[in-house]
Structure 1
Amino acid sequence: MSGSGSHIRLRVTCVFLSLALLAYVGLTQWVLGHALLREHAGGGAGVLPLVGGPHPDDPPSHVNDRMLFFNRVPKSGSEMLVLLLQWLQGENAFRHIRLRNSVRRFLSRDEQLDLAAEMGEKIFESAQSRLSFDRHLYFTNFSTLGLKMPVYLNLIRDPVEKAASRFYYARVTPRPGAVTPSGYHLPPPPRHATLEECVAAHDPECTFVSGRLYDLSIPYFCGHEDYCRELNNMAALNTAKTHVERWYPVVGVLEDLNATLAVLQDRLDMYYNQLLAPHHNRNRHRPSVSQDIDLALRKNLTTEYEFYDYIRQRLTLQYRDLKGRGG
């Protein structure tokens, strides 16, 4: 009997422990949800508040205009705009938050939920009602997570110049501060000292082949699906353009930096409403790209250049509109 009684007590203990674990998980989820939904006093940002239900095509009226998300395209001059956000946050009464960086720019759905939770924690802790975030990250449709969309911002540059910048950057900077996820394998050490040598050797580091997956500019506007990283995929190009028109009031161009700064002041004045001096951003230590190398790389970057030309034309029209209004 004593053995049977001990067995019963053990089973009852296991049941209580299971119920306690379930209660803990439920409480954790409730606290996280409460943090995500909490709004600050005075109509604060909250965390991308919940809309009526998940919907991938929320109209612009469902954008949370008290939340700016700068999902930075690498090697396109983005650090300059981040520095401006950091300098102007006190003057313009908002807080800028740098999210945890990672070598991975594309996320699974669970990782996207983790991103929303990280933002929720930062907002819950913030006393400011307006916030801006930045991270190297592919376009994330928060409305599919049941959340309001932020105002998106980005900056791009000439695709060949971007490739050259990344090539030489990889030879001097080992991804400072970037988190390496488990299972991620770092690329082998570079084998070529110059871009010319790399192209001549047809090395995969500087060879672009249609249909293969690359971390170029379009995925930062298209999304986390594999086709978004597929080079010269027309669906990825069209998706990226659609997202720009719907969610990005401004996408700047490094080669047109003065126009970019002027349009930022006009269309994102809550963040960039101070007069910004003309700026020139170039790594004078990086070798320039020869005409032959430019042509060799350009011919396989068809959709990247279509996207770049589209963004540049859009910025030009925005700048002309501003000047036409006396800005």
Structure 2
Amino acid sequence: MFLKRRFIKRRLLYLVIISAFMVLMFMNNGHRFTSARMGNLPRSGKHFSSANIQSLVIKKNYDDRYLIFNRVPKCGSMSLTSTSYSLGAQNGFKVASPYEDGEKPNKSGEEQMEFIKYLHSQTHPFMYIRHQYFIDFENFGEKQPIYINMIRDPIARFESFYYFSRFGNQRGGGGAKLGDQKTQETIDECVQKRRQECTKPYWQVVPYFCGQEPGCMSRSRWALDRAKENIKNHYVFVGTLEDLDDSLKILEHLIPRYFKNAAQSMKSQKTIKVRNETYTRNKRETSEAAKIFLRTETCLSLEYELYDFVRERLYQFKDMLLD
């Protein structure tokens, strides 16, 4: 009996030692994951699964001296741009948001190289904001900067773009040369008449993530899949306008160097003024029938796949960081 008790105690001791060793190994692996997968991006104090975050942020060694917000049109980007300037003053980083009449978001190889040189010549930390398709820095032998973006429900964005091209906002825009009849047509009427503007909507969202390859301009699954891969591999985070507050809070957790107090800053009177001034004029309600057509019979069906993909990732980040 005495020998049996000694044997049991010895087994229990072995189990305690093994358990302690496993805990130490887990903690060490977690630390290695943080440095290898998240690079220099700070983590919040909240605990979350490294396996889950690994599936969402798989790039390593981001060059966090530079952040690029290659903003998609009509996705609330002017409000976020205004907030970014306020955050730059608060958090100590420089912001540039250049604009040129007639500028194009796609660039030649030489223009991409020139942009990379320009970015690296700036005092850092530095945030660059522009309507510009994704540029893969690694194709030029450079470390990838932090990329972020914001998108919007595709039909809501299409509505905003459709009426903005006609009527603009308080700051300008509008004046598209369509003739009086087309200018005054609602989206419902445009769909009923099968106007090309509504049967082949401008391919405007996917290329921002797909990048600079010619194929990215095609309304295709190849372009969509490449956009998804780039979001997974090269973007720290993509938010949605419909989940703006949560998106900003997630950015606060992931990139506090740039986005500390972002959610509160978005509520400032300055940003509210910008939002009111950039609200598209003369928007009309779109019927459910027209929405169904746009969602199922046009390239917006591919945009919805991208939107749902982004939103699913957003909710995973929210579960890990906010809830």
Verify same fold: TM over 0.5.
yes
Matches within 5 A, 1:1-327: 60-101=59-100, 102-121=102-121, 123=122, 126=123, 129-173=124-168, 188-189=177-178, 191-193=182-184, 194-208=186-200, 214-231=202-219, 233-274=220-261, 276-277=263-264, 283=279, 285=281, 286-299=283-296, 300=298, 301-324=300-323
- Number of aligned pairs? 248
Q: Deviations over 1:237-291 (max 9, x none)?
A: 2211111111211101011112111111111211111162476968485223221
Q: What is the alpha-carbon distance in structure 2 between the residues aligned to residue 215 and residue 234 of structure 1? A: 13
Q: Does the aligned pair in 2 maintain the 1:192–1:198 contact within 8 Å?
A: no
Q: Is the 8 A contact 2:240 2:311 kept in 1?
A: yes
Q: Secondary structure at the match of 1:171?
A: helix
| Kept in 2: contact 1:161–1:289 (CA 8 A) | no
Q: Which structure shows the higher helix fraction?
A: 2
Computed over aligned residues only, the root mean square deviation of the Cα atoms, in angstroms, reads 2.7
Amino acid at match of 1:189: L
Q: Residues of 1 paired with 2:235 and 2:132: CA distance?
A: 15
Would the alpha carbon gap of residues 257 and 302 (structure 1) be closer, same or farther in structure 2, given more than 3 Å must change?
same
How far apart, in 2, do the equivalents of 1:167 and 1:64 lie?
A: 37
Helix, strand or coil: the match of 2:178?
Answer: coil
Offset from partner CA, 1:33-70 (integer Å, 9 cap, x none): xxxxxxxxxxxxxxxxxxxxxxxxxx833421111000
The structural deviation recorded for 1:313 is 0.8
Gaps of 5+ in 1: 1-58, 179-185
> Aligned partners of 2:308 and 2:239: how far apart in 1?
12
- Structure 2: segments with no counterpart, 5+ residues: 1-57
1:177 Cα deviation (Å)? 9.9
TM (normalized to structure 2)? 0.70
Partner of 1:68, secondary structure, is strand
| C-alpha separation in 2, matches of 1:157 and 1:224 | 22
Residues 275, 80 of structure 1: CA spacing in aligned structure 2 closer, same or farther, 3 A cutoff?
closer
> C-alpha deviations, 1:145-187, integer Å up to 9, x for none?
232211001000011111111011111239x899xxxxxxx97
How far residue 311 of structure 1 moved from its aligned partner, in angstroms, is 0.4
Q: Distance in 2 between matches of 1:256 and 1:142?
A: 29
Change (3 A) 1:292 1:103: farther
> Are the counterparts in 2 of residues 259 and 316 from structure 1 also a CA contact under 8 Å?
no
Cα deviation per residue 1:217-249 (whole Å; 9 max; x = unaligned)?
111111122221222x22212211111111211
Question: What's the CA shift for 1:188?
Answer: 4.2
Give the match's secondary structure for 2:257. coil
> In 2, distance between residues paired with 1:228 and 1:146?
22
Judged with a 3 Å threshold, the aligned counterparts in structure 2 of structure 1 residues 197 and 69 are, in CA distance, closer, same or farther, namely same
CA distance in 2 between partners of 1:220 and 1:257 (Å): 19
